[in-house]
Structure 1
Amino acid sequence: MTCFTAFPIFTPVAWHIHARIRRTALAGMGLWAMAAIAFSSTAHAQPATSPAAQTQPPSRAWMTIGQRRFGITLADTAAARAFAAAMPLSLEMAELNGNEKHADLREPLPTSAARPGTIRSGDLLLYGTRTVVIFYATFDASYSYTRLGQVDNPAALTQALGTQGVRVTFSRQ
């Protein structure tokens, strides 16, 4: 009588070789499976930011001096976001050097100061942690500032600010 088994009968040496082949095959299948999982998860991964967030327009604010209103494009900085959160805000700004108006805030803002090299008319910058500065002339500077924003059309800024101290109101609307 012939007996058939589901598993072939191996000698101890053959069994050892067969076990090694099985381990190698399983390891290879495991690598293929991990690669397939990794590929499928990256193939369907969502971008870190949505397209809407990538095309979002810059933040806007307004600066009112007397009867003149100027649009401001706020910088993408923590200081600019904190400044916007404090609005509406009216500041009595003092004249300095014939090229800037400045005023101190009650609360400090976060800083990421850098030397801009050239200050441009319309720059809205933070000096230190509390001093808001509006520049109405273009010149070279070696001081460090944190960018808050830029007046969109600074052509009439010099006339609106005048030569003395002035009240400036910043608002989101």
Structure 2
Amino acid sequence: MVYETFDAGTRSAPATTPSIDRRRPLRCHLQTMRRLGLPLLLALCGSTAAQPSTPAAHADAAAGAAQASQRTEESRMWMTVGERRFAITLADTEAARAFVALLPLALDMEELNGNEKHGELPKALPTDASRPGTIRNGDLLLWGSRTAVVFYQTFDSPYSYTRVGRLDDPSGLARGLGRGDVRVVFSKN
């Protein structure tokens, strides 16, 4: 704890250089630290004292990691264009779940406006359209209920779409999709 020195006999302001009052016992400093949130700080830093180190705790941690890995796999699919493969993280939407139910799926996608490829789905999917404002390179969206759209440029748009997912790394997407129409394969693995 830092204290300022002040001489009550003078009319000057407290010293601007803080000093530590070494006369106060360590216990008082620790109490002040606790009051200022030391337990929270230790918890945020991952103190081993706050976490049990039993075999059951390790098993719980391993099970949690396995579940997180499974959730990651469940929320991911792949898009292949020629020899290039892109990972897609799925949105938490009914449309995304319905899209995954169609996999594996090969779509002949047409070029449009120099910023997207679009293809007709075999059946209509649930929609929850909204105006994203800005479309991002790597967005996989649903226009209407049957048109899948992969965007390979970032731009502003007044149109409404339902989110399906987003490419994890869209670098090279424009080159991979090429200038014309293209066959795109979506798969779960």
Q: TM-score, normalised by structure 1?
A: 0.68
Q: How many residues align?
A: 122
Looking at structure 2, the residues matched to 166 and 131 of structure 1 have their Cα atoms a distance apart, in angstroms, of 15
What's the CA shift for 1:106?
A: 1.6
Aligned to 2:159: 143
Larger Rg: 1
Higher relative contact order (CA 8 A, sep 6+): 1
What's the CA shift for 1:164?
A: 0.2
Between the two proteins, what is the percent identity of the paired residues?
62
Aligned to 1:45: none
Deviations 1:84-113 (Å, cap 9, x if unpaired)?
Answer: 010000000000000000001120000000
**Structure 2 gaps, min length 5:** 1-63
Question: Structure 1 residue runs of 4+, over 6 Å off?
Answer: none
Please, what is the CA RMSD of the aligned residues?
Answer: 1.6
Deviations 1:54-89 (Å, cap 9, x if unpaired)?
Answer: 964360000000000000001000000000010000
What's the CA shift for 1:150?
A: 0.1
For 1:53-72, list aligned pairs within 5 A: 56-57=71-72, 59-72=75-88
Aligned to 1:39: none
SS in structure 2 of the partner of residue 126 of structure 1: strand
Deviations 1:14-33 (Å, cap 9, x if unpaired)?
Answer: xxxxxxxxxxxxxxxxxxxx
1:134 aligned onto 2:153: no
Aligned to 1:117: 133
Aligned to 1:170: 186
